[in-house]
Amino acid sequence: HAADAHRTDLMTITRFVLNEQSKYPESRGDFTILLSHIVLGCKFVCSAVNKAGLAKLIGLAGETNVQGEEQKKLDVLSNEVFIKALVSSGRTCILVSEEDEEATFVEPSKRGKYCVVFDPLDGSSNIDCGVSIGTIFGIYMIKDGGEPALEDVLQPGKNMIAAGYCMYGSSCTFVLSAGRGVNGFTLDPSLGEFILTHPDIKIPKKGKIYSVNEGNAKNWDGPTAKYVEKCKFPKDGSSVKSLRYIGSMVADVHRTLLYGGIFLYPADKKSPNGKLRVLYEVFPMSYLMEQAGGQAFTGKQRALDLVPEKIHERSPIFLGSYDDVEEIKALYAAEE
């Protein structure tokens, strides 16, 4: 019985990645080890996020230290957990985190060949009201031989070898691509394991939802304004789109991936480069979108072709269903 097989033959994320890796004879399990450390960080954050409300009220055991220092903010705590987990994996050499001004260069004795760029807890303004938040990450590999240098992470997103996110929502969901499609795993809290629940995710070719902070409309450029107007008042006989905006990139992108549609964080007169960060927000999500059959566009070019000059650089981003992104591309092309 197929359902029975599912219940007794669990496809954990580790087993899934090991299976994938076994197709590549040259692989030595390094990626599997790196990933298991990322997964550990996500499980920690998941558990901390679930207890966030309680921690404030009663103070969880072990959370006030002997000096009676104030409890660490969740985003700071998450960052420390990821940095330590990644360094101790022995598989990383450069880490870029949204929380740290400078990149972390791993000491030679603990070095490996991977560079990880990440936002340990994105959407943190949503923590206190219990709305979904997430972790986003992307992985590069350093060039053989040389000393690790910042250039190793200032690479276009298309050079990433893997990307993903973990969403701390009504359930904890881990979405991963290592360049051969996108797969989703759900944490079984009783097992403490991520189980494959969304194999080979493909985004619908066209969607019925647009997702944008419309409060910024007064400062938008022409193409963005025209596009959103068209979502609400289509003149070509197509149906209107629904608006959904959570304000947590992971949650908004996760819905877009599963239901289709478009997510926009455009440039505006106040922020000419938009808000979202190229390395650890725009690139990983663009990578996943393309791997799922969608597109990601900056208003000027394919997002994954962008070459960042600084680690915390920002870019406008339009990503989602293939046909929906095609429309916004046409509006920007007409502008030129």
Q: Which residues bind Mg ion (CB under 5 A)?
A: 119, 122
Tell me: does residue 319 bind ligand AHM (CB under 6 A): no
**Is residue 120 classed exposed, middle or buried when 0-12, 13-18 and 19+ CB atoms within 10 A define those classes?**
buried
> Which structure tokens are listed for 258?
């599963």
Nearer to Mg ion, 126 or 177 (CB): 126
Binding residue for ligand AHM (CB under 6 A) from 41, 112, 120, 123? 123
Stretch that binds ligand AHM, among 8-16, 145-153, 245-253, 323-331 (CB under 6 A): 245-253
Indicate which of Mg ion, ligand AHM, none lies near residue 273 (CB less than 5 to 8 Å, by partner kind): none
Task: Restricting to residues 20-79, name those near ligand AHM by CB under 6 A.
Answer: none
Of 46, 295, 6, nearest in space to 172 by CA? 46
Tell me: does residue 132 bind ligand AHM (CB under 6 A): no
Nearer to ligand AHM, 118 or 174 (CB): 118
Residue 111: left if φ>0, alpha if ψ -120 to 50, beta else—which one? beta
Of 285, 288, 264, nearest in space to 275 by CA? 264
- Asked if 26 and 207 touch (Cβ cutoff 8 Å), the reply is no
Task: Restricting to residues 179-218, name those near ligand AHM by CB under 6 A.
Answer: 213
Q: How far is CA 260 from CA 46, 199, 201, 209, in A?
A: 26, 17, 11, 7
Binding residues with ligand AHM: total (CB under 6 A): 12
Q: What is the DSSP string of 317-334?
A: EEEE-HHHHHHHHHHHHH
Nearer to Mg ion, 91 or 275 (CB): 275
Tell me: does residue 275 bind ligand AHM (CB under 6 A): yes
Binding residue for ligand AHM (CB under 6 A) from 127, 249, 319, 328? 249
- Asked if 189 and 168 touch (Cβ cutoff 8 Å), the reply is no
Task: Restricting to residues 80-99, name those near ligand AHM by CB under 6 A.
Answer: 98
Indicate which of Mg ion, ligand AHM, none lies near residue 124 (CB less than 5 to 8 Å, by partner kind): ligand AHM
Q: Compute the distance between CA of residue 25 and CA of residue 31 in angstroms, rounded to an integer.
A: 13
Which residues contact ligand AHM (rule: CB under 6 A)? 98, 122-125, 213, 247-249, 252, 265, 275
